[in-house]
Amino acid sequence: MHRSRLSTFLIDTPAAEAARSAAFWSAALGVPASPVPDEPQFTSLPGVHPDLVFAVQGVDDAPRYHVDIETDDHNAETARLVALGAVEINRWLDCHTLRVPGGQLVCVIPVHSDPEVFDRLAHTWP
Amino acid sequence: MHRSRLSTFLIDTPAAEAARSAAFWSAALGVPASPVPDEPQFTSLPGVHPDLVFAVQGVDDAPRYHVDIETDDHNAETARLVALGAVEINRWLDCHTLRVPGGQLVCVIPVHSDPEVFDRLAHTWP
Contact residues, chain A, for B80 at CB < 8 Å = 28
Q: Where does the pLDDT of residue B50 fall: very low under 50, low under 70, confident under 90, or very high at 90 and above?
A: confident
Quote the pLDDT of residue B93.
94
Helix (H, G, I), strand (E, B) or coil at B60: coil
pLDDT at A98 over 90: yes
CA distance B79 to chain A (A): 11
* Cβ-defined contact of B100 to A21 (cutoff 8 Å): yes
List of residues 6+ apart from B79 with CB closer than 8 A: none
Question: Chain-wide mean pLDDT for chain A?
Answer: 97
Segment A76-94 shows an average pLDDT of 97
Over residues A2-29, the pLDDT tens digits come to: 999 999 999 999 999 999 999 999 999 9
Quote the pLDDT of residue A50.
85
* Cβ-defined contact of A85 to B11 (cutoff 8 Å): no
pTM: 0.95
**What ipTM goes with this model?**
0.95
pLDDT at A124 over 90: yes
Segment A62-85 shows an average pLDDT of 98
The 3 state secondary structure assigned to A35-100 is ECCCCCCEEECCCCECCEEEEEEEECCCCEEEEEEEECCHHHHHHHHHHCCCEEEEEECCEEEEEC
Contact residues, chain A, for B85 at CB < 8 Å = 20, 24
Taking CA–CA distances from A84, the nearest residue in chain B reads: B24
A15: contact with B, CB 8 A cutoff: no
CA distance A64 to chain B (A): 6
CA distance B97 to B86: 10
B48: contact with A, CB 8 A cutoff: yes
Segment B83-103 shows an average pLDDT of 97
Q: Which of B63, B69, B84 sits opposite A104 (nearest CB)?
A: B63
Quote the pLDDT of residue A104.
98
Residue type, B35: P
Helix (H, G, I), strand (E, B) or coil at B95: strand
